[in-house]
Structure 1
């Protein structure tokens, strides 16, 4: 159970902002080989935003996470107005609006819709390394589903990395939440590995925020869920992640990627973020100490540092709220105002306190 009690609203703020901080820090070294990161002394600089000069720029990871929030908000607004809502359709419409911010013209077969509050934030209209699979899936003009998949072979992490807000939804049975995460993944990705990774991640966030579970318990439940699912590679990666030793403050990044992969496919990215969060929890310290350590592990490796650090940051922020965030972190984010507005809209509409 939680030893640090804080409001559910604060966990929402911590989850969204923690994910954005991880994304921004990880993007600074994404695609860099570990030996180059180490030689440039970035291992030390990138465990905390306090050690980075200037503004922190987020990528498509945070952009799409924010549009996930807004898609859920629109569905909740419909429901509150007495209109039957389809959460997955709401997310699809939100992602199509994100597509338009990336200088892409959605096909004529895609539904047109009026702009919402989020679309007027110019900071989200920067093209920041958008995921090619997400782009191609949305550009098809068809709403991807399990029955009518798009990008059938894609196991990339593009649908996984945007799924944390689904786990923040209160009062939704976990089977329904899992189904929503899977359907949301299918909007752009067609492979079961992507779908079930997204569902497991969303359920970890839900367990930590609404289920009363601490990080070790939530991650153990995640391994059990993966074992029950149809993707054996997911269970294998996640079990390796929780069993990988972490008896020092800086696990060897070469050993990390050797055991868990580089994070470019969904189950690998999820495994690295899990290991980072669990290792930080085992090493102890204050919530901020744990947050910094999780990001240090999730950032400094030969792989998709932005996605792995974003997910690790989301988990730590969900567990410890804004108390986990370094004091100088959130204000440095270029999307700080949008994050704050998204969080407060979500908190108000869901009635969280």
Structure 2
């Protein structure tokens, strides 16, 4: 099915199953994000006082509407855009995905300062022209400052070297959807792209671990097995202790009794990368179904949208789009854009050779307008 670079020959059933997981991952993450958006800065006591003993059980208004997403979903979508553009640009002989992802993040950063897409250039592609994305949804300072100029942060010279905020983890699920890649390459790419905004080892290694977990479940592994794969990848990287300990605590919490908000809060608040990762993973591990897992992931006194996003990415990749509660899918902001991008990603990964090759660069000119090589 895969050849190590994403250029595999896929059967029809495999393509359909993969597309369902991609859709599930992106929609699930966005739903978790939207469920947490309205309570992101509230304590658990305040959430219960306002919404009842169970906390939120449905979307609550945020940013002027129900089902609104935050910077977590915005940046995740631009990660997908960057990965598609990287695969398209490979036809030119240029192959450096971190550069393409960085360019995509810079396009996201423009949506945080520009009024709208009127001034976007053709080479920016279609996603940067989606007007609904031009809205500030409490973006992290490290994400904004890390992308404020055109210098790309690297592992040797990262941006914000002391920052390990969860802005690395919440945008990194798409790296795990590169199922044609080997796990160590998925890990490395996620790490390199995280260092573009967050230079603390825990920040970028947590992103790598999350990508490997998504990668494993998308390829059909169990979630517990996926976490073990991430731990194995982490073990060979200096500075992994905080991320490793957080994941081990998440695994340990599964065995400590019935899941509840207090047990989720025992893993942290989610504002930093390893805590958001551990909390999202724990909620996915103990989830009775998608609804149960997502509500558990957002009802706490920390970074509810980010932990909800991480949990939703995992459950969606694990079970596919049809497992998502339809009433949440229907009200989700940007659903059409998310589905279009998910389907484009799945098409590029499974049928990219029919859309563009070095020998026939204009095989699908509409595709190259959507994802220019520039």
Matched, 1:68 2:67: no
Q: How far apart, in 2, do the equivalents of 1:68 and 1:186 lie?
A: 14
Equivalent residue for 1:216? 224
Question: 1:82 Cα shift?
Answer: 4.1
Q: Is the 1:47–1:295 contact (alpha carbons within 8 Å) kept by the matching residues of 2? A: no
Task: Pick closer, same or farther for the CA change 1:246–1:48 going to 2, 3 Å.
Answer: farther
Question: 1:209 Cα shift?
Answer: 0.6
Question: 1:119 Cα shift?
Answer: 1.1
Q: Is the 2:38–2:61 contact (alpha carbons within 8 Å) kept by the matching residues of 1? A: no
Question: 1:293 Cα shift?
Answer: 1.3
Equivalent residue for 1:306? 305
Question: 1:92 Cα shift?
Answer: 0.6
Q: How far apart, in 2, do the equivalents of 1:278 and 1:63 lie?
A: 25
SS at match of 1:170: coil
Q: For 1:53-81, what per-residue CA distance to the aligned partner results, in whole angstroms no more than 9, with x for missing partners? A: 963100000000000000001111112x3
Equivalent residue for 1:27? 37
Out of 8, 11, 17, the residue aligned to residue 18 of structure 2 is: 8
Q: For 1:245-293, what per-residue CA distance to the aligned partner results, in whole angstroms no more than 9, with x for missing partners? A: 4643x51x23432x3111111001100001101111xxx4xxxxx1111
SS at match of 2:158: coil
Matched, 1:326 2:337: no
Unaligned runs of 5+ in 1: 106-111, 285-289
Alignment of 1:270-281 (within 5 A): 270-280=277-287
Matched, 1:40 2:50: yes
- Number of residue pairs matched? 330
Question: 1:222 Cα shift?
Answer: 2.6
Equivalent residue for 2:267? 260
Q: Is the 2:114–2:134 contact (alpha carbons within 8 Å) kept by the matching residues of 1? A: no
Matched, 1:138 2:137: no
Q: Is the 1:50–1:329 contact (alpha carbons within 8 Å) kept by the matching residues of 2? A: no
SS at match of 2:327: coil
Equivalent residue for 2:198? 189
Question: 1:51 Cα shift?
Answer: 11
TM-score, normalised with respect to structure 2? 0.83
Matched, 1:229 2:237: yes
Q: Is the 2:47–2:55 contact (alpha carbons within 8 Å) kept by the matching residues of 1? A: no
Task: Pick closer, same or farther for the CA change 1:113–1:191 going to 2, 3 Å.
Answer: farther
Alignment of 1:136-215 (within 5 A): 136-210=145-219, 212-215=220-223
Equivalent residue for 1:17? 27
Unaligned runs of 5+ in 2: 1-13, 116-120, 353-374
Equivalent residue for 1:87? 97
TM-score, normalised with respect to structure 1? 0.88
SS at match of 1:306: helix
- The root-mean-square deviation of aligned C-alpha atoms, in Å, is 2.4
Question: 1:41 Cα shift?
Answer: 2.5
Q: How far apart, in 2, do the equivalents of 1:194 and 1:42 lie?
A: 34
Question: 1:227 Cα shift?
Answer: 3.9
Q: Is the 1:48–1:295 contact (alpha carbons within 8 Å) kept by the matching residues of 2? A: no
Q: How far apart, in 1, do the equivalents of 2:164 and 2:38 lie?
A: 24
Q: For 1:289-328, what per-residue CA distance to the aligned partner results, in whole angstroms no more than 9, with x for missing partners? A: x111111111011100110000000000000001220011
Equivalent residue for 1:97? 107
